[in-house]
Homo-oligomer: A and B are copies of this chain.
Amino acid sequence: MTEEVSVPESHPRYESLLTRHRIEAGVERGITSKQGLIAEGRGEAFDYLLGEETTDSADRAARAAAAYLLSAEHAVVSVNGNAAALVPEELVELADVTGAELEVNLFNRTRERIEAIADYLREHGAEGVKGLDADARIPGLDHERAKVDSDGIYDADVVLVPLEDGDRAEALGEMGKTELVVDLNPLSRSPQVATVPIVDNIIRAIPTITEHARELAGDPAAQQAAIETFDADAALADAKRRIREVEA
């Protein structure tokens, strides 16, 4: 439903042009903030160093994340401005396939942006978007940054937090939640505190998780295997190695 840029998928810069187009649309809709644009640039640099592809290691992480979402009591996907701008339909599809809920959760929270993002997700097929009540608090964070829904992230046993701030990732981990993080910088705190760090571009990572979820759905043994064989430290080490292999 997103009005896309008219570039064929075979174009070598397709993904990058698509990203730019969606980010610009996000700015126009009041979804992407100034900080979001800067964060997008940081991500681009790391993606460039990682070769702009989903590594085998990131694919295994996506599979483990799918397994956690499917086997959760209550899974919630936290959605911030860049996530909504970049992969609105893909997030709705992931929620559909895994039975997870979508909750808008912003670092720089304003009622206006929360509503703009919830509307955007609804336009892309989401039902029952959470994050507007904000009637519970994550312990150990500033008041504004701690706000979540009591029947959403606060209650969840598994949360997928793409592009999350380090402090919040840490606080969610301390609540005992299984945390699945998508982040392109393997050195930043969020992937380091995650149960499953997915070091990949969100544009590729979300559809990859959905694909694995389709395959793992209804197969608890396969889900269990994907969870048990996943090694978070090895995933982070792989991503760091990729960066170190930058051509001489």
Contacts and interface: CB of A to CB of B under 8 A. Distances in A.
Contacts of A46: 45
A41 B45 contact: yes
Interface string A25-62: 00100000010011111111110110000000000000
A40 B34 CA distance: 11
A23 interface: yes
A41 B41 CA distance: 4
Q: For chain A, which range describes its interface: under 10, 10 to 19, 20 to 34, or 35 or more residues?
A: 20 to 34
Q: Chain A binding site: helix, strand, loop or mixed by DSSP?
A: helix
A39 B45 CA distance: 9
Contact of A42 (B27, B42, B247, B248): B42
A81 B185 CA distance: 27
A15 to B, nearest CB: 15
B39 A243 contact: no
6 contacts: A24-B34, A37-B41, A41-B43, A41-B44, A45-B185, A240-B248
